[in-house]
Amino acid sequence: MLDRIAPYILLISRMMLALLFMKAGWGKIVGYAQTQSYMEAMGIVGSVLPLVILLELGGGLAILVGCFTRTLSLTLAGFSVISGSSFILTFTIVGKQYT
């Protein structure tokens, strides 16, 4: 039974992953100035924002249609770890914030 539905589960999973990244990329386009200023406030050069948008939108679209899925999945996973550690993981010790 699982052998019959496995391709459909993989397709739905790939679609959900692609839509997650494509939605994030589209949000960066819609709020370009705010995203760029937030990146600069966190110490990241705002000029890399077009590359981030290209990676999220282009990578998401390529995964959605099934092109270079393994390579792009690993690239997007690495991107997620780097962006998560840059933007989400902030450490606060005695009122001082460290990134």
Instruction: Spell out the domain ranges in the chain.
Output: 1-96
- 31-35, 74-78, 83-87, 92-96: the lowest-pLDDT one: 92-96
> What are 66-86's pLDDT values in tens digits?
999 999 999 999 999 999 888
CA distances from 7 to 12, 44, 67, 76 (A): 9, 40, 16, 22
CA 17 to chain centre: 10
Residue with tokens 């092109």, as numbered in its chain: 67
Residues 23-48 have a mean pLDDT of 94
Among the listed residues 51, 86, 49, 65, the one whose alpha carbon sits nearest the alpha carbon of residue 17: 65
Phi-psi region of 68 (alpha: psi -120 to 50; beta: other; left: phi over 0): left
Please give the model's pTM, rounded to 2 decimal places: 0.82
